Amino acid sequence: LLPGITEPRWNIAAAIAYDRYLYDRWSKYISRSQRLSFTLASYNTGFSRTMDARNQAKASGRDPGRWQQVEQYVPLQTKNYVKKIFGLMDESS
């Protein structure tokens, strides 16, 4: 095992770094206002699977740059994960 892998602080730091990586990766495809939703979905189900959902939305005539148009193409678990995180964010404001 890597040093520190069992320590929560390192797991949290790794998750934050990975989230930032995903957020930056989506900057090529998604406007800033929509990017957090796609980042959270990618964290949950993977970048490629989220990109596949985006491509499915586009093929169905939907706007692939708007999460509300793409979310129906991701797994239900991912859709619920994104909603849950936004709900937690709303509660903390």
Mind listing the pLDDT tens digit for each residue in 39-64? Answer: 999 999 999 999 999 999 999 999 99
| Average pLDDT rounded to a whole number, residues 32-36 | 97
What tokens appear for 15 in the block? 């998750």
Kindly tell me if the per-residue pLDDT of 1 is higher than 90.
no
Q: What is the pLDDT of residue 73?
A: 98
Q: Which of 44, 35, 46 is nearest to 79 (CA)?
A: 44
Q: What is the pLDDT of residue 2?
A: 66
Largest pairwise CA distance in the chain:
48
| Average pLDDT rounded to a whole number, residues 2-28 | 90
Confidence band, pLDDT 50/70/90 cuts, at residue 6:
confident
Contact 75, 46 (CB under 8 A): no
pTM over 0.85: yes
Contact 30, 58 (CB under 8 A): no
